[in-house]
Amino acid sequence: MRSVVLAAVLVAGSAAYPAPTPAQGDAEAIGWLRGIYRATERLSYTGTFIYQHGEQVETSRITRIVDASGVHERLEALDGTPREIVRVNEEVKCYLPQTMTLKVDRQIDTRPFPAMRVDASELADRYAIRKGETERIAGYDCQAIVLEPRTTCVTATSSGRTSRPACS
């Protein structure tokens, strides 16, 4: 089964709490996702984003500045093919240093990274959401939030839409 793991830096020190029930664990993990998303809308920040999909792991450095002139973002790939993406409000520039290529585009949908298209609690319809382990990453205590698909079946219909039949 494929899963996505998000690592969030713990702001406060951890204390010993009894193990949560699955329902409480889901609610707490959903709370983490909501907090992460709210912070991405309003705060300036810099950090390392780690994305794991199956066995593949991608690491990026992200910087976001929100000021009176708007939103400024810089995303730099730290592994794989070198690339850097810079966004200032709606203008997006992608620099590929190996080929000395610069691509410029306009982005209509300017939701902050990570752009959640649904409320975090609605994700629970499609994913089992839970807190993972707390680990030390790059000098920070990080809380993993794990999203596992509830189903692995997706079927294309003749209309081109996808359906999600009940399957295990």
pTM exceeding the 0.75 threshold for the entire prediction: no
| Domain assignments of the chain as residue spans, ordered by start | 4-163
The answer to whether the CB of 134 falls within 8 A of the CB of 142 is yes
Tens digits of residue pLDDT in 94-141: 999 999 999 999 877 666 555 665 677 677 888 888 999 998 987 889
What is the CATH code for 4-163?
A: 2.50.20
CA 80, CA 159: separation in Å to the nearest integer?
37
* Reduced DSSP (H G I as helix, E B as strand, rest coil) percent helix, strand, coil of the chain, to 5: 15, 45, 40
Torsion sign (Cα): 144, 150, 154, 157: negative
Tens digits of residue pLDDT in 15-31: 333 334 444 458 888 88
Enumerate long-range contacts of 34-38, CB under 8 Å, 24 or more apart. Answer: 34/119, 34/120, 35/8, 36/6, 36/8, 36/114, 37/112, 37/114, 37/116, 37/120
